[in-house]
């Protein structure tokens, strides 16, 4: 089969090349090739089970933690395949942060949640940690809301705050790429709007990939959009173009709500 034509895009931060992935014997991703442009937001859309989350989880090798997963092809990051046996997967995950569908703060204080990553990677000094925590929370637009509750449990925060805390936690280890797996699916519209606003700010500094079910969201925040269907990349291009005049009939059907 022919890979869909890649649009001419800016400098890529990550390149996915002919990636195939099997869960046991079933093929979940079939020859995916796409580039994540640097400091841009790329959205992965598609119906449930199309493989968009699986693709996202390949990018920081979270799929390693799932039994029976096998991959072929490569994902280039910094000029090197992340599947290279010499790659330190923990160092890789430090550079490629991830935020999950359901907010998953640790049962610790707000401060400890943000300081967790830096501590793991060897930051010990209290002053330095304080600075990192504040910067992380400010970057996630959470600082003003929690600055007086830093030493209260993170589980006390609202759902939207918890999700932004998870973003702050991911940012605290200073990643280059941020992967978000349906970060707003459990949030109300106000909290969703806050996160979208935040993503647009974060685009200044980070390369972002976001999986979303919500096509309006993809249209609102992303610069590029990839449409996946049944494990294959159907179409990938600039968001405006993909939504306004998709090249493929399947894309057209999906974004106009005829299926999915």
Provide, rounded to whole angstroms, the least separation between the CB of residue 13 and other proteins: 18
Report d(CA 83, CA 86) in Å as an integer: 8
Choose which of 36, 45, 98, 180 interacts with other proteins (CB under 8 A).
Answer: 98
Contact between 206 and 223 (Cβ < 8 Å): no
Report d(CA 247, CA 204) in Å as an integer: 29
Provide, rounded to whole angstroms, the least separation between the CB of residue 98 and other proteins: 4
Residue 40 contacts other proteins per CB under 8 A: no
Residue 60 contacts other proteins per CB under 8 A: yes
Provide, rounded to whole angstroms, the least separation between the CB of residue 83 and other proteins: 17
Choose which of 21, 34, 43, 62 interacts with other proteins (CB under 8 A).
Answer: 62
How large is the angle between the packed helices 189-202 and 159-171, nearest 10 degrees? Answer: 20
Stretch that binds other proteins, among 8-16, 97-105, 126-134, 138-146 (CB under 8 A): 97-105
Give the alpha-carbon dihedral of 245, 249, 250, 252, to 10 degrees: 30
Residue 24 contacts other proteins per CB under 8 A: no
Q: What is the total count of residues that contact other proteins (CB under 8 A)? A: 33
DSSP letters, 229-256, are ETTEEEEEEEHHHHHHS-SSHHHHHHHT
25 pairs with which residues across the strands?
Answer: none
Report d(CA 215, CA 81) in Å as an integer: 31
Contact between 178 and 207 (Cβ < 8 Å): yes
- Rank residues 54 and 60 by Cβ distance to other proteins and give the closer one: 60
- Rank residues 52 and 94 by Cβ distance to other proteins and give the closer one: 94
Residues in the chain, total = 260
Stretch that binds other proteins, among 38-46, 60-68, 70-78, 197-205 (CB under 8 A): 60-68
Contact between 225 and 42 (Cβ < 8 Å): yes
Report d(CA 205, CA 177) in Å as an integer: 9
Report d(CA 127, CA 136) in Å as an integer: 14
Stretch that binds other proteins, among 4-12, 105-113, 224-232, 244-252 (CB under 8 A): 105-113
Residue 23 contacts other proteins per CB under 8 A: no
Tell me, residue by residue from 158 to 197, as one string, x for binding to other proteins by CB under 8 A and - for no binding.
--------x--xx--x------------------------
Contact between 204 and 39 (Cβ < 8 Å): yes
Residue 155 contacts other proteins per CB under 8 A: yes
Residue 226 contacts other proteins per CB under 8 A: no
Provide, rounded to whole angstroms, the least separation between the CB of residue 242 and other proteins: 28
Report d(CA 157, CA 180) in Å as an integer: 20
Stretch that binds other proteins, among 12-20, 98-106, 125-133, 196-204 (CB under 8 A): 98-106
Residues that bind other proteins (CB under 8 A): 60, 62, 65, 90-94, 97-98, 100, 102, 104-109, 116-117, 119-121, 151-156, 166, 169-170, 173
């Amino acid at each position: 089969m022919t890979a869909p034509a890649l649009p001419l895009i800016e400098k890529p931060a990550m390149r996915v090349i002919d990636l195939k992935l099997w869960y046991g014997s079933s093929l979940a991703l079939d020859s995916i090739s796409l580039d994540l442009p640097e400091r841009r937001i790329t959205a992965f859309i598609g119906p449930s089970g199309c493989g968009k989350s699986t693709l996202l989880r390949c990018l920081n090798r979270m799929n390693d933690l799932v039994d029976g997963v096998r991959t072929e092809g490569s994902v280039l990051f910094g000029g090197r395949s992340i599947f290279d046996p010499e790659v330190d997967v923990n160092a890789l995950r430090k550079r490629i942060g991830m935020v999950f569908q359901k907010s998953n703060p640790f049962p610790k204080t707000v401060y400890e949640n943000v300081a967790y990553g830096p501590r793991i990677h060897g930051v010990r000094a209290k002053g330095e940690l304080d600075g990192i925590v504040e910067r992380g929370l400010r970057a996630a637009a959470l600082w003003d809301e929690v600055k007086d509750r830093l030493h209260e449990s993170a589980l006390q925060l609202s759902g939207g705050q918890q999700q932004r805390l998870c973003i702050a936690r991911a940012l605290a280890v200073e990643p280059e790429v941020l992967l978000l797996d349906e970060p707003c699916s459990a949030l109300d519209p106000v909290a969703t709007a806050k996160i979208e606003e935040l993503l647009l700010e974060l685009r200044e500094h980070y390369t972002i990939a976001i999986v979303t079910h919500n096509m309006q969201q993809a249209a609102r925040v992303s610069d590029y959009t990839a449409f996946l269907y049944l494990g294959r990349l159907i179409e990938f291009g600039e968001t405006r173009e993909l939504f306004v005049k998709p090249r493929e009939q399947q894309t057209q059907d999906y974004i106009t709500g005829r299926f999915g």
